[in-house]
Amino acid sequence: MKQENSKSIGEVIALFIREQGLEEGLLRVRVYEAWDAVCGERVAVATLRKYYKNKILYCTLNSSMLRNRLYPQRGQLLDGINKRLQAPLVKDIVLK
């Protein structure tokens, strides 16, 4: 017997996340994880801080040499992050 107001567990979780205002925080975590995965472990360890706002990912690195090496690769990193997230959630990367 099927109930009229039945919902899948995915729908219930999505509703809970929306009602609790957790969407933005979860999105930020997904973006940070994508950065770590796309850049690799070495860059992830060298990344001191990450901040995501208005579709821009700000990353502070502990090495100016590494920052200079990554700077020309920002387009590739951006494509890799958005591909991993399966949506164009990041429009620019700022390396500090």
CATH assignment at residue 17: 3.30.300
HSE (CB half, 13 Å, CA atoms) of 87? 5
49: pLDDT strictly greater than 60: yes
Domain count, the chain: 1
Residue 91 lies in a domain: yes
pLDDT value, residue 1: 52
Whether residue 31 lies inside any domain: the answer is yes
Look at residue 60 and tell me whether its pLDDT is greater than 60: yes
User: What is the rounded distance in angstroms from the CA atom of residue 18 to the CA atom of residue 60?
Assistant: 30
**In the prediction, which pLDDT does 2 show?**
60
Residues 6+ apart with CB under 8 A from 34: 80, 81, 84, 85, 90
Specify if 3 maps to a domain: no
Which residues have CB under 8 Å from 90's CB, separation 6+? 31, 34, 52, 55, 56, 57, 78, 81, 82
Sign of the alpha-carbon torsion through 54, 88, 92, 77:
positive
Q: Is residue 1 part of a domain?
A: no
Q: How far apart are CA 82 and CA 57, in angstroms?
A: 12
Q: Which domain holds residue 66?
A: 9-95
Determine, yes or no, domain membership for 61: yes
In a domain, 28, yes or no: yes
Q: What is the pLDDT of residue 22?
A: 86
Q: For residues 40 and 54, what is the distance between their CA atoms, to the nearest angstrom?
A: 24
